[in-house]
Every structure is written in structure tokens, then in C-alpha cells.
Amino acid sequence: MHLSNYLDDVVVWAPAKINLFLEVLGKRPDGYHEIATLMVAVRLYDTLVFRGESSPALTLSCSEARLSAGLDNLVLRSAKLLQDRTGCNCGATIRLIKRIPMAAGLGGGSTDAAATLLGLNRLWQLGLSDDELAKLGGEVGSDVPFFFHAPAAWCTGRGEIVTSMKLCMPLDFVLLCPAFGMATAPVYKNVVIPSTPVSGDPIRQAVQKGDVDYIGKLLHNRLQLAAEMLEPRIAEYARMLVESKPAGCLMSGTGSTLFALCRSADEAGRVTAGLERSVKAHEFKLIVTRTA
């Protein structure tokens, strides 16, 4: 996340994430699933603008009309949690400029929540550390703590236990974002938990070495088959990405976004050019990006 002050406002740029690896280890007593995942932040950003209010009131406006601006929005939930835990009597007007597709497996709601905690911590001069904010974020959503450890991290538990990782080089991607989204709960409901989980150690080592072709061979998402069973177009789009011959391709999170991991920015351009010929026949958006 990137944070800056502009006149009376605090502005935060909140990145999307993709999962290079996601294994489901089992069902937890609390109803969540135990997972192991390797996530990286990418240069696709929502922007949040925070302005202080003298009263404790919290208001949210959003550029995306389909997104609720009520208390069910993770932005307001995060702001209210921060008020409650710190006893802060300040309020804020929050403006969200939405660019990350919704229900797409890119962590849009989670990154907005993390940005809210970061931005209001600055605006209200609370002095909380990133670790303290990440712990609060884990109460809002499983992916929220990751964004305080970007650009890369290994996440376990339900996703809230985060170990930062270093990237020795940027990774280039082409995101294929379908016009439809995927709800998280049905995908997890349909996943088949393996008796022997795939180990994430090899891909962690490959990422730390910067071996793109090896990373591509080790990409893994246990949820992809479950998502494809619910929405066959995901499998169709995955085949299109494979045919473009990148280093590897995978679905991110619970979908619907798929990505091609490319060996260079030039290859990302080539993959995009090839896929653009299919855009008119299929409803999806292509985004060329790299790790943040």
C-alpha cells in the first residue's frame, strides 16, 4: 500500500493480490478452512481518500454503484472497529475509487479494509504499528493482514497468519477478468480436501530464487476445480491462457480472475495481443500488470 497526505486528505493506494499457490488443508471448528497460500500484491489499485470530521460520523461514497456503501462494506466495518478499539471520537468522510474487479479473487474488499486501517491510523494520529493494524484487520477478513506484509507473503491458518517473503525480481502477469464474479462460500463448499496436501515449499523456494519457469510449473490452486464445476467458463478461459504458452497460468483465490505468469513484460504484451482477438467473442477484461 502507498500512503500520502494531500492538503487535508490522506490518500491510500490499495493493491490487488493474486495467489500463486493455495492449498486447502481441512475444515476448522469455526467453519473456516485451514489453508496455506502464497500471495503477491500486483499493480492494480483501488484509491481511498480520507478526510477528517469533527464528529464520530463515518460516511462512505464509492465510484462503483453496485458496491454497498453501508455498514456491510469492509471499509466502514474496519473504520468502526478502529474507533471502537482505540476509543477514538474522530470521524471521517471516505471516498473509494474502485478499479479492482469485485468477486474476482483479487482481494478487493480486503485491500480496501487494510487501506482504511492504514489511512485512518494516519488521519486520526493513533500511532498504531503495522502489526497492530494487521491484527485488527484479521478480525475483518482473512486476507486483510496480508496487505501489511506485501509484496509477497506465505499465509496460513484461515489466511491471517502471515510470513513476509522477499521477491528478488518483479513478476509479470496478464490478468483475465471475466464479466461474472464468484462467491467465496459456494466454491469452498464444493472443494475436495486432499488426503495428502501439495507442499508449498518448492514454490516458495522458486519465488525466492526468481526462477519464473519453475514458478510456473508449481502454480497450484485447490479451489480451481471447484470453481470450474460451478462456472464452466473458468475452465474455458484457463484453456485459452494455456494456449498462449506463458510460464504458467492459474485462477486466483476463489475466482473468477485467472492469470498468466509471464517471463517478461514483452511476453505479457504478446500474450495480451493474442488474447485480445478473443475478447469480442467472450466477456472478459485483460489487465497487464506486475508485482507491486
Taking only the tens place, the pLDDT of each residue in 84-127 is 999 999 999 999 999 999 999 999 999 999 999 999 999 999 99
Q: What is the pLDDT of residues 243-265, one digit of tens each?
A: 999 999 999 999 999 999 999 99
Active-site residue (options: 46, 112, 143, 172): 143
Position 278 scores a pLDDT of: 76
Domains of the chain from N-terminus onward: 2-165 (3.30.230.10), 172-290 (3.30.70.890)
Question: Out of 97-101, 266-270, 282-286, which region has the weakest mean confidence (pLDDT)?
Answer: 282-286
Q: What is the pLDDT of residues 175-190, one digit of tens each?
A: 999 999 999 999 999 9
For residues 133 and 168, the model is more confident at 133
Active site residue 285: no
Position 281 scores a pLDDT of: 64
Q: How confident is the model at residue 69 (pLDDT cuts 50, 70, 90)?
A: confident
Q: What is the pLDDT of residues 158-212, one digit of tens each?
A: 999 999 999 989 999 999 999 999 999 999 999 999 999 999 999 999 999 999 9
Position 7 scores a pLDDT of: 87
As a whole number of Å, the CA-based R_g of the chain is 19
Mean pLDDT of 63-84: 93
CA dihedral 101, 102, 108, 112 (to 10 degrees): 110
| Nearest residue to 224 (alpha-carbon basis) of 12, 64, 4, 18 | 18
Active-site residue (options: 17, 98, 112, 172): 17
Determine the Cα–Cα distance for residues 87 and 140; give it in Å rounded to an integer.
18
Active site residue 143: yes
Sign of the C-alpha dihedral, residues 272, 276, 282, 283? positive
Position 277 scores a pLDDT of: 81
